[in-house]
Amino acid sequence: MKLKVCGMKYQDNIQAVADLQPDYLGFIFYEKSARCFNTSMPDISKNIKKTGVFVNETLEFVLEQIQKYDLQAVQLHGEESTEYCKTLRRRHSEFISESHQENPKHLQVDKSLEIIKVFSIKDEFNFDVLKPYETVCDYFLFDTKGKLPGGNGYTFDWNVLNDYPSTKPFFLSGGIGLEEAEKLNKFQLSPASKYCYAIDVNSKFEIEPGLKDIEQLKQFKTNLSFRT
């Protein structure tokens, strides 16, 4: 099981969290969020995938942030269509191809873009809505349905995922904190976790919005048996 820490905002804190070696770090590009990222990106390990979180943004804006911050993944937290996902991947590929032609020696070998499409769950969920997205994104992310696009601070009923009909790997998100570690270890042993690729944490590990508690994150990693 991989770990994603989302809602990063402050440079020193970003570096401290990166030192814990999560698999993904999430940066929110949504002006209405208290965790909106609007500073320079520190130099972090290439083993950590920088993920931009967007809510119903224009393709131009998303592509600009990918280029500016060298993002390896995007998390689409709004009502983005399948066509939007396809166009994003195509335009990113075109940009990489053009960049490679201009500067072949300076381009990294792997410049692919991971697309994570978010779906919100409360007490039940119609999994039929996933079908059109099967071929246009790399991962699904299941979050708690609430007033905000994310960071609501409470979990949904994970038993809903017992009916997950897909083989697409997914991120589990929504109000996950230290107190969920035991529950998560049990979840990993359940059929519902078969395609759970990563755990996504955010607000439950904060001192204030965007500022993560390093000691709590360390304890979480120790308490939870992350599998590779």
Q: Which domains are assigned to the chain?
A: 2-223 (3.20.20.70)
User: The whole model's pTM is what?
Assistant: 0.92
Range with the lowest mean pLDDT among 15-19, 26-30, 111-115?
Answer: 111-115
What span, in angstroms and rounded, lies between the C-alpha atoms of 58 and 212? 29
Spatial separation of the C-alpha atoms in residues 156 and 183, rounded to whole Å:
13
**pLDDT for the residue numbered 110:** 54
pLDDT of residue 123: 81
> Is the per-residue pLDDT at 228 higher than 50?
no
Confidence of residue 185 (pLDDT cuts 50, 70, 90): confident
The rounded percent of the chain whose pLDDT value lies above 70 is 90
Residue 227 identity (one-letter amino acid): R
Please determine, for residue 89, whether its predicted confidence score (pLDDT) is greater than 80: yes
Tally Cβ neighbours within 10 Å of residue 156: 23
Residue 97 is predicted with a pLDDT of 81
- With bands split at pLDDT 50, 70 and 90, how would you rate the model's confidence at 146? low
Instruction: Find all residues with CB under 8 Å of 191, minimum gap 6, and list them.
Output: 162
